[in-house]
Amino acid sequence: MGDAENKLLYLDQPGLDALNFFELKHGELPDIVAYSPAKAWLFLIEAVNSYGPISPIRLARLKELTQQCPCDPVFVTAFLTRSDFRKFVHEIAWETEVWIAEDPDHLIHFNGEKFLGPYAREKPAS
């Protein structure tokens, strides 16, 4: 985990080595890299106030950098407010997620095909 000034505020090097993660000197490193062992997902989270959203070019580079990693990457751009999100919505890459601190219980999925389907309807009272 890091920020714009210090990209390595907290670093679990043995954990990253076990995931065959890329060398951390790369400028494309997002603010937070988190791993879910239960799902074997690697979360690459960028806070927009430090760099910018995960754009199509940045997404391609992050996919390239994580190619040797055995887990599935999940790309997330984080915003403080919906207003901040609106400023950058045109730059966000497809096949990524958006999280807004103002509405922390929700994600915006930039694609839809992967999660396409109806919500469960409430059953009418009998």
Decide: 115 and 109 in contact? Cβ < 8 Å: yes
Pairing relation of β-strands 41-47 and 72-79? parallel
Is 100 contained in some domain? yes
Is 55 contained in some domain? yes
- Residue-number span of the structural domain to which 86 is assigned: 13-110
Q: What is the pLDDT of residues 39-62, one digit of tens each?
A: 888 888 999 976 789 999 999 988
Q: What is the pLDDT of residues 67-109, one digit of tens each?
A: 888 888 899 999 999 999 999 999 999 989 999 999 999 999 9
Is 6 contained in some domain? no
Is 54 contained in some domain? yes
